[in-house]
Amino acid sequence: MAARKAYIVGVGMTAFTKPGNKDYPILGLEGAVKALIDAGLTYDDVDYAAAGYVYGDSTCGQRVLYQLGMTGIPIVNVNNNCSTGSSAFNLAANAVLAGQAECALAVGFEKMAPGSLSSAFTDRAAPMEGTMSQLFEIEGDKEYETEDFGPFAARIFGAAGLEYCEKYGATWDHIAEISAKNHRHSEKNPYAQFRATPSKEQVLKARKITREVTLPMCSPTSDGGAGVIVASEAFVKKHGLEDRAIELAGMGVATDSIRLYEDRSRIELAGADMSRRAAQIAYKQAGIQAKDVQVLELHDCFAPNELVTYPALGLCAEGEAHKLVEQKLNTYNDSGKGWVVNPSGGLESKGHPLGATGLGMIKYMVDQLRGDAGALQVKNVQHALTHNIGLGGSCVVTILKRPSFFKAGATNSAKRFGYNAGDQVKAITEEDLNKVKSKQFSDYLPADLE
């Protein structure tokens, strides 16, 4: 019996914005509704759902999806720090791969508070207290001054960048160039929170958040929502979705190994080992190598993490990531060499609503493979990759490709949305909701789209 495969048939997302007045039920609903419209399906076609969010009470996923109907399907909520969105996708895809569902929905959303990330529960053990203690010990060994080093997450990734520079002769100019590159990419992304394009010099001179990390090198807190529909091959063909189906070629999920503590490495504290292992699993499943990928969304929560993750994903050898930056093999170029890394602008500029981030990455890569990415389109995309990491820790790497039965050129988001969803962002309407909601809809939970 042939192994089952999973295909992405619908994607949708909100614009990612600074924390505002929209509540999570509407943010999540917009992502789900757009994914259903993109797939040409209704909520009655969905037989499993996974919802991802970090900041919220229990069963927020039900609160979001009950606005589409109360169909009695399994709805599972997941919180895996910054990798929450991809973790929800992993659950939905595995439900299809295991034969538990023919059509599954992953939805992610986040309504965040302004400012740096903080714990919601200060009266109990912190999940990352071991990582924090290790960083403090290393900083003590380095005899750093006992100043206010800045937010903990920024310190972790800043320390990783500093270790890379110390070991391999790179400078913070390389890291600033990564940040400037990502901001340049976001200029043409209508979904991005920031579309300004600071130069490398401006990035270096900007306000410092830690000892080395400046403000443009940091992802902002954001509000947003995203949805992804996953289906079996039988479902795809039954519903005539060959013109939009993108195959899940490989998926790797990893957590921290003992190297997190034993190596006493700041790069390992930032999750390099679990990125490495998740990527190896995904490449093996897909039967490809890094050189076979053309475009990827990499978890650049802070610019140093992009640099230290290049070797973890196999884009270069250890110690050669800064050379990739110097040769501009991480952006659009006419040479046909390298990769376009973070065409969306990455977390630094497109935004980082934790529960939606990983699903947004998948949306961008599906658009690329369909040839529907508008101004962000990369030429001749055969394989695309997403890398979504959460300290504490979890890493999900996915590899996507066009299936053999894909109808090239037949898909166009304008046919489904009435506008090109790669180039424009519009909020959902009552008409949109009515197109996709279940027949088992209850007026007790009306969606306030205003």
Could you read off the pLDDT of 292-322 as tens digits, one per residue? 999 999 999 999 999 999 999 999 999 999 9
Give the residue among 116, 47, 81 at the shortest CA–CA distance from 358: 81
pTM of the model: 0.95
User: In the chain, which stretches have pLDDT less than 70?
Assistant: 1-2, 115-118, 141-148, 408-411, 445-446, 450
Q: Where are the domains of the chain?
A: 6-115+221-436
Residue 2 has a pLDDT of 64
User: What residue has token string 């369909």?
Assistant: 370
* CATH fold for the domain made of 6-115+221-436: Peroxisomal Thiolase; Chain A, domain 1 (3.40.47)
If 0-12 CB within 10 Å is exposed, 13-18 middle and 19+ buried, where does residue 374 land?
A: middle
User: In this structure, are residues 156 and 133 in contact, taking their beta carbons and an 8 Å threshold?
Assistant: no
Structure tokens at 384: 């695309």
DSSP 297: E
Amino acid type, 401: K
Q: What is residue 128's predicted lDDT score, i.e. its pLDDT?
A: 79
pLDDT score recorded for residue 130: 82
pLDDT of residue 444: 72
Instruction: Give residues with Cβ within 8 angstroms of 213, minimum separation 6.
Output: 150, 154, 157, 158, 161, 302, 303, 304
The strand ranges marked E within 290-333 are 295-297
- CA 78, 182, 394 angle in degrees (round to 5)? 25
Torsion angle, CA of 167/172/175/180, rounded to 10 degrees?
-170
Under a CB-based contact definition with an 8 Å cutoff, are residues 342 and 336 in contact?
Answer: no
What's the pLDDT at 450? 66
Q: Are strands 383-390 and 394-401 parallel, antiparallel or unpaired?
A: antiparallel
Q: Which run of H or of E encompasses 286? A: helix 272-286
Q: Roughly what angle, to the nearest 10 degrees, separates helices 303-312 and 272-286? A: 50
410: alpha, beta or left, given left = phi > 0 and alpha = psi -120 to 50? alpha
Look at the block and give the residue holding tokens 């990798």.
Answer: 83
pLDDT at 145: 46
* Phi, psi at 399, each rounded to 5°: -125, 130
How many angstroms separate the CA atoms of 11 and 9, rounded? 7
